[in-house]
Amino acid sequence: MTGEPKGRAPAAFNLDDPRLSADLPLKDEAPAQKPEGPKGPPAASREPAPDKPGAAASSGPQPNAKPRAAAPQPKAATPPPSDQPAGTMAAPPQKAISRTRKWGGIFLSAVGGLVVLAMLIWVQDTFLTLLGRHDWIGWAATILLAVAVFSFAMILAREIAGLARLSAMTTVRKRADSALMVEDTKQARVAAGEIRAIFAERRELADGLARLRKHERDIMDAKQVLSLTERELLVPLDKLARVTIGSSGRRVLVVTTLSPAAIISVGFVAYENFRMLRNLASIYGGRPGFFAILKLMRLIAGHLALTGGIAFTDDILSQVLGQGVTARVSKRLGEGLINGGFTMRIGLAAVEVLRPLPYVEARQPRFREFVSEFLKVGHRFAGEIAPEGKERGKG
């Protein structure tokens, strides 16, 4: 499609011409995606792909977290120290840390390896002796072993699938970003198709999916393709996410304020955050496993490290004010507000990481808007989106 009119004279083809590949209405993505497979996206998708197994299997002490964090998230592309959430932003300190850590890491790995070996020998011995017995204990042990192996495989598969979905979402996001940047309709359509595939089984989006399918063929501009996808599929999900984040924040606020012991509130905050992340990931189609959530947390930490500073100044005033006044009323309530607020900020960052599209047409939610959500005591059902419906006209 570059401007070389010389070799490309106008021509007519019969419809049964084998050289012709029609992208008629709905089959649009299927053929478009295939040829793309080896060329375009892999450049983007390969990078996160090989680290999937790595992340699933190890996620342990190795310091090779840097390339992994860099690959999937365009915005978090530079923050290597993603396992140090808030502080350490620049590159140099990370270097120093990795050097001092190296020996410790090697030591730990070696010791870990020894322990694993010892365990393996013990397990092997036990099993061999168990299996060697030809009585009912031996049979029971065999069956239990089979069940254990099978279920472990299933868990592993689920975790890997969860991670794959997560990185698929970040790939889609990348593709959508680049399609918007260079206004490439084809890429945008591929991205839109992938997003539709992610949400294909969601019943609550069936309506929007049907509408998308109807318009899809007639929309010719990358931005419009994506903004329509966003409007039909993501805006309802954004509302859902908003309610989820709000209710988590509220819960943290209440528990922190009322809990009799600090340890309880700490535990609850951790639990609630975990739960919120899982819910958010499910809302945006991630269906994550445990490791996927860990990875998500790391991405979020990276994101917060990058953007936190800015967002913090944006909202610091209200927080200081809030704390100043409320702390005078009750120290606990002040703590609750801080904890709840932070939970919500994590939620917002999670949305930013999870959302398969950038904000094309919809407005990016700001922390301040959540304060109203926060204080809305009453509706705690995540599914309840009716009240938000009215606010749409504003945006």
Partner 1 sequence: MALLERWSSSALETWARAQDTAAQMFAPSVRLGVTGLSRSGKTVFITSLVHNLMAGNALPFFEPLAQKRILRTYLEPQPDDAVPRFDYEGNLAKLTAAEPEWPEGTRQISELRLTFEYAPGAMMRRALGATRLMHLDIVDYPGEWLLDLPLLDLTFEEWSRQSIAMAREPSREPAAKEWLAFLGETNPLQKKNEQIAKHGAEIFTQYLRKCRDDALSFSSLTPGRFLMPGDLAGSPAFTFFPLEAAEGAAPPDNSLWGMMARRFNSYKRHVIQPFYRDHFARLDRQIVLADVLTVVNAGAAAVADLERAMSDILGCFRHGQNPWHAMFSGRRIDRIVFAATKADHLHHTNHDRLEAILGLIAKKSIARANFSGAEVKAFALASVRATGEAEARQGNDRLPCIVGVPLKGERLGARVFDGKEQLAIFPGDLPEDPALALSPEWLSMGHSATHFVRFRPQKQRPLGFGESAVLSHIRLDRALNFLIGDKLS
**For residues 369 and 293, what is the distance between their CA atoms, to the nearest angstrom?**
26
Structural tokens at position 58: 């190890």
CA dihedral 10, 15, 19, 24 (to 10 degrees): 100
Q: What's the closest the beta carbon of residue 356 comes to partner 1, in angstroms?
A: 19
Does 178 bind partner 1 (CB under 8 A)? Our answer is: no
Q: Is the dihedral of CA 16, 196, 366, 351 positive or negative?
A: negative
Instruction: By CB under 8 A, tell whether 9 contacts partner 1.
Output: yes
State yes or no: residue 221 binds partner 1 (CB under 8 A). yes
Residue 188 structure tokens: 């945008």
Does residue 394 bind partner 1 (CB under 8 A)?
Answer: yes
Is 37 among the residues that bind partner 1 (CB under 8 A)? no
Least spacing, CB of residue 362 vs partner 1, in Å = 12
Site of tokens 């036990």: 126
CB of 3 to partner 1, least distance (A): 4
- Please tell me whether residue 12 binds partner 1 under the rule CB under 8 A: yes
Joined tokens for residue 142: 């065999």
Sign of torsion, CA 214 215 218 223? negative
Closest contact distance (angstroms) between CB of 220 and partner 1 is 4
Whole-number minimum distance, CB 28 to partner 1, in Å? 9
- The residue among 113 and 389 lying less far from partner 1, judged by its C-beta, is 389
Task: Give min distance, CB of 4 to partner 1, in A.
Answer: 8
Kindly state whether residue 24 participates in binding partner 1, applying the rule CB under 8 A.
yes
Does 100 interact with partner 1 (rule: CB under 8 A)?
no
Q: Is 386 in the site for partner 1 (CB under 8 A)?
A: no
User: Any idea what DSSP says for residue 382?
Assistant: T
Site for partner 1 in 280-309 (CB under 8 A): none
**Are 195 and 357 in contact, with CB atoms under 8 Å apart?**
yes
Which of 20, 57, 389, 40 shows the shortest CA–CA distance to 182? 40
Euclidean distance between CA atoms 180 and 215, whole angstroms: 19
> What is the chain's length?
395
Position 363 contacts partner 1 (CB under 8 A):
no
Note whether 96 binds partner 1 by CB under 8 A.
no
Minimum CB distance to partner 1 smaller for 3 or for 132: 3
Which among 12-20, 83-91, 110-118, 319-327 is the span making contact with partner 1, rule CB under 8 A? 12-20
Question: Which residue, among 382, 151, 391, has the nearest Cα to 282 in the 3D structure?
Answer: 382
Write the DSSP assignment of 43-88 as a string of letters: HHHTTHHHHHHHHHHT-SS-STHHHHHHTT-SGGGS---TTS-SS-
Kindly state whether residue 23 participates in binding partner 1, applying the rule CB under 8 A: yes
Please give the size of the binding site for partner 1, defined by CB under 8 A: 39
Least distance in angstroms from the C-beta of 8 to partner 1? 6
Among 17, 329, 377, 386, binds partner 1 (CB under 8 A): 17
Does the protein bind partner 1 through residue 183 (CB under 8 A)? yes
Window contacting partner 1 (CB under 8 A); options: 8-16, 45-53, 110-118, 277-285: 8-16
Residues 225-244 that bind partner 1 (CB under 8 A): 227-228, 231
Contact 233, 267 (CB under 8 A): no
Contact 162, 169 (CB under 8 A): no
Residue 174 to residue 75: CA distance in whole angstroms: 10
> Which positions lie near partner 1, rule CB under 8 A?
1-5, 7-15, 17, 19-25, 183, 185, 211, 214-215, 217-221, 224, 227-228, 231, 392-394
